[in-house]
């Protein structure tokens, strides 16, 4: 039977919040443990905590970070109290395990030792920033991979002419490569927006304690805790210029969520385009083919659906809903504290995690493996008379309009009509209509 290290505050939270929502995100718990380790080392350096106790706290925190104590953290993500229950859950588990490590009963206290020089109000937001930065790194990695895959398709199909469409109606010629280059550029801009959030997230309110005025946190502790935190995380975290502002305002999380949502909008738009371009295969556009990943119907044999583009669409719906929740929760802060932190943490970390996972699958199993139907692209381009706009500067609007009407009436291509009328030679037509 696994040991239980949590205490009365965790038990009270379970009674008060007996909700069947998901548990607190593991990345959040891990980041809290990193802060507890850094705080213990900082307090020991300042002479406020015996080194033996500090080492036992650090060792217990390491076990949480490694996942060995995951069974100790089952509180629901939805809870009141600005996340005090989450902080106390971690405090109690570390205290219980550290006491066991020291082989002394009640040697380590969750508040007096583990939470020394801290408050839920500076620890939790700082942990969310660290967790957000870690997961953002994965989102950026996967998004760069997607942009590269789209750019590869742009190169592969740079000379494949096709029909461009506006309002879902025939427009002017383009190339399949140009469409994919535009997709790549959109994702690259989304990546730039996400990168711009990082400096904001690196500014923590750790050391501000309850309301940002650093009550019970010495200047030496603040210097030491950031030094250890930078060493433990590899992140260039630093105290915010105004710890009180950083304790009450949570708009940095809104900024991250909004940037994620912007990425989701572009991803969903691209996914919609791929669904349209791959529609059919006989009754739709059919200009590209997506890899057949699984059966698309339990009743229609041979049917294959665009399951990953559909997953991307649903990812955006999730991001959009989570973003609205995060915005409302951040706005609901009062005076010196952003009290709705738990729901912000839950929805933000869900959005980051899901985005990285979905983008990875979309890249590897959809974008990289799709292929063009060259003949279909050419057929739609010829049938649509889309080349007419390219002829107008040479032949004039009225002459081209007449040729288009004749082509439509006789079921011919524009090229056939123009050549038959003697308006252009074949070589001239092909030169003028080259995209």
Which residues are catalytically annotated?
297
Contacts of 371 (CB under 8 A, 6+ apart): 288, 289
- Rounded CA-CA distance 139/41 in Å is 31
Q: Do 345 and 77 contact (CB within 8 A), yes or no?
A: yes
DSSP 30-89: HHHHHHHHHHHHHHHHTTSS-HHHHHHHHHHHHHHHHTTTGGG---BS--SGGGHHHHHH
Q: Do 99 and 107 contact (CB within 8 A), yes or no?
A: yes
Contacts of 89 (CB under 8 A, 6+ apart): 6, 9, 10, 13, 24, 72, 73, 75
3-state secondary structure of 187: helix
Residue closest to 128 by CA, chosen among 116, 117, 120, 139: 120
Q: For residue 342, what are its two tokens? A: 């738990």
3-state secondary structure of 337: strand
Q: For residue 338, what are its two tokens? A: 């952003």
Q: Do 204 and 126 contact (CB within 8 A), yes or no?
A: yes
175 - beta bridge partners?
161
Q: For residue 377, what are its two tokens? A: 């692209």
- Rounded CA-CA distance 260/201 in Å is 14
Burial 229-266 (b: 16+ CB within 10 A, else e): beebbebebebbeebbebbbbbbbbbbbbbbbbbbbeb
């Amino acid at each position: 039977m696994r040991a239980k290290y949590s205490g009365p505050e965790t038990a009270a939270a379970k009674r008060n919040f007996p909700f069947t929502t998901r548990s607190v995100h593991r990345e959040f718990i891990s980041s809290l443990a990193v802060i507890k380790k850094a705080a213990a080392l900082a307090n020991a350096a300042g002479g406020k905590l015996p080194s033996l106790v500090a080492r036992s706290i650090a060792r217990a925190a390491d076990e949480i970070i490694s996942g060995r104590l995951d069974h100790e953290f089952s509180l629901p993500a939805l809870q009141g109290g600005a996340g005090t229950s989450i902080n106390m859950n971690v405090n109690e588990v570390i205290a219980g395990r550290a006491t066991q490590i020291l082989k002394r009963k009640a040697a380590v206290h969750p508040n007096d030792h583990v939470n020394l020089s801290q408050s839920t109000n500076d620890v939790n937001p700082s942990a969310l920033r660290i967790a957000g930065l870690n997961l953002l790194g994965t989102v950026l990695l996967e998004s760069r991979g997607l942009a590269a895959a789209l750019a590869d398709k742009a190169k592969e199909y740079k000379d494949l002419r096709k029909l461009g469409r506006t309002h879902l109606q025939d427009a002017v010629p383009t190339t399949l490569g140009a469409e994919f280059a535009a997709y790549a550029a959109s994702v690259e801009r989304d990546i730039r927006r996400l990168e711009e959030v990082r400096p904001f997230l690196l500014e923590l309110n750790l050391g501000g304690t309850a309301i940002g005025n650093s009550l019970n946190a010495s200047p030496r502790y603040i210097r030491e805790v950031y030094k250890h935190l930078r060493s433990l995380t590899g992140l260039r975290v630093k105290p915010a210029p105004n710890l009180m502002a950083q304790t009450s305002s949570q708009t940095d999380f809104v900024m991250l969520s909004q940037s994620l949502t912007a990425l989701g909008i572009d991803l969903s738009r691209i996914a919609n385009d791929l669904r349209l371009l791959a529609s059919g295969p006989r009754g739709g556009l059919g200009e590209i083919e997506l890899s057949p990943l699984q059966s698309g119907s339990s009743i229609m044999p041979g049917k294959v659906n665009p399951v990953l583009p559909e997953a991307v669409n649903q990812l955006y719906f999730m991001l959009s809903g989570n973003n609205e929740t995060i915005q409302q929760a951040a706005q609901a802060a009062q005076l010196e504290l952003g009290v709705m932190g738990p729901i912000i943490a839950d929805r933000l970390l869900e959005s980051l995690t899901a985005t990285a996972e979905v983008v990875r699958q979309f890249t590897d199993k959809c974008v990289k493996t799709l292929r063009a139907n060259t003949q279909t692209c050419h057929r739609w381009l010829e049938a649509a008379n889309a080349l007419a706009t390219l002829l107008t500067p040479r032949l004039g609007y009225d002459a081209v309009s007449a040729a288009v009407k004749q082509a439509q009436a006789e079921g011919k291509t524009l090229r056939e009509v123009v050549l038959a009328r003697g308006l252009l030679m074949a070589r001239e037509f092909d030169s003028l209509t080259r995209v």
